[in-house]
Structure 1
Amino acid sequence: MRQTGSVPLTDSVRRPVGLPITLLVTGAIGLLASLALTLDKIALLENPNVQLGCNFSVLIGCSDNLNSVQGSVFGFPNPILGLVFWAAVITVGVGMLAGARFAGWFWALFSIGTAAALALVVWFIIQSIFVLRVLCPWCMVTWVVTIPVFFVVVLHTLRSEPVPAPLRRVASVGFFWIPAATLVCYVVIAVLAQVQLDVLGEFF
């Protein structure tokens, strides 16, 4: 087998690239949104009457979400969870690009973590639309990137690890449908927001 340096060419060919790049891009976007929300929360703690840059109207803004009980589910601001989660996502992406191969148990735990993140996002979407009745721009950015991360991590785990063959085949096929599935999720959220809050009426 011909080698370049000490790394076989077959290793570089087989090394996944799409998955780590997806994790890096979504992780960077999610981390930026979480950082912005964290800074906004600090600003609100310093001055409850401060006008945040993400407050565009009664319907679209960050203050109500950050000051709500839902904005501190575990007793501290939700954005702190985002900082930790997205830093982990970026770390995994960087590690994969550097050639790291993670054990099956790691992917299982990572899948559970992304599933928990999606569950929290779904819960907060429901709270934002049906209870708080206000859409937080930076929160929506987090929603946008959490959904595809969940799909890519869980399906990658199912198609790469020792699971029943039928489930592995379904995951392999499903991996190519991630963009469509993600788009469907976006459409569902947009429809719910429009029906409940008349978002378009805010602009037209």
Structure 2
Amino acid sequence: MPQRLTHTRPTVMAGWLIIAGAVGWWAAFSLTMERLHLLADPDAIASCDFSPLVQCTANLESWQGQVFGFPNPILGLAGWVAPIVVGFAILAHARFARWFWWVFELGMTFAFVFVIWLISQSIFVLGTLCPWCMVTWVVTIPTYYVVTIHMLRSGILPTPEGVRKAAETLMGWVPVLAVVSYGIIAVIAQLRLDVLGRVF
């Protein structure tokens, strides 16, 4: 017997998807403009370059900043439209097929893994903290948590009832999970880059 789907209109999640999508899109747009500015004038200083530690240029001009042969922010310009559209569609009482949620989850998983990789490259290889990149990190991490937990609690991902109940409880802890994740990144950055010592 197929599992009954629940939470077909998660309005709180929809609101977060819209906010996160808008913030992520703006960060991607800002980085894209910075990249175009640097291409037009290689000697220019990006507006988000504050110090050797806190800057965008090193990230944008590295191979890590264009993994697929074009600037990474272009991925954000395209990708962050999806959460915005899904969020508004949920508020408009849209109902999505199971395959749609699977594709959406696949996209969010890719974004999450890609961001984790970029964080590691930024801290351990480039030795910089890109302001707009960090904005992207801040919204990608909890958005992945929210979508994945929703998949579990709603029955879209076939799971036992106990897992679904646990996911329902866990959804309320997403802000805490996000803060803990930020804290882990901050500690790693401090240990590797001595952020506090170099900023202050």
**TM-score using structure 1 length:** 0.90
Larger-gyration structure (1/2): 1
The percent identity for this pair of structures is: 50
Map 1:70-149 onto structure 2 (within 5 A): 70-149=64-143
Structure 2 residue 127 is matched with structure 1 residue 164: no
Distance (whole Å) between structure 1 residues aligned to residue 197 and residue 135 of structure 2:
21
CA contact (8 A) 1:28 1:86 kept: yes
Map 1:6-25 onto structure 2 (within 5 A): 15-25=9-19
Pick one of 181, 184, 187 that aligns with 1:191.
187
Distance (whole Å) between structure 1 residues aligned to residue 159 and residue 184 of structure 2:
31
Question: What amino acid does structure 2 have at the position aligned with 1:189?
Answer: I
Distance (whole Å) between structure 2 residues aligned to residue 199 and residue 167 of structure 1:
39
2:172 corresponds to: 176
Pick one of 56, 62, 69 that aligns with 2:56.
62
Compare relative contact order (CA 8 Å, sep 6+) and give the higher one, 1 or 2: 2
CA contact (8 A) 1:104 1:161 kept: no
Distance (whole Å) between structure 1 residues aligned to residue 63 and residue 93 of structure 2:
42
**TM-score using structure 2 length:** 0.92
Cα shift at 1:101: 1.2
Give the number of equivalent residue pairs. Answer: 191
Deviations 1:14-44 (A, max 9, x none): 8421011000111111000000000011111
Distance (whole Å) between structure 2 residues aligned to residue 48 and residue 21 of structure 1:
40
2:80 alignment partner, SS class:
helix
Consecutive unaligned residues of structure 1, counting only runs of 5 or more, are 1-13
1:173 alignment partner, SS class:
helix
2:4 corresponds to: none
For the aligned residue pairs, the C-alpha RMSD in angstroms reads 1.2
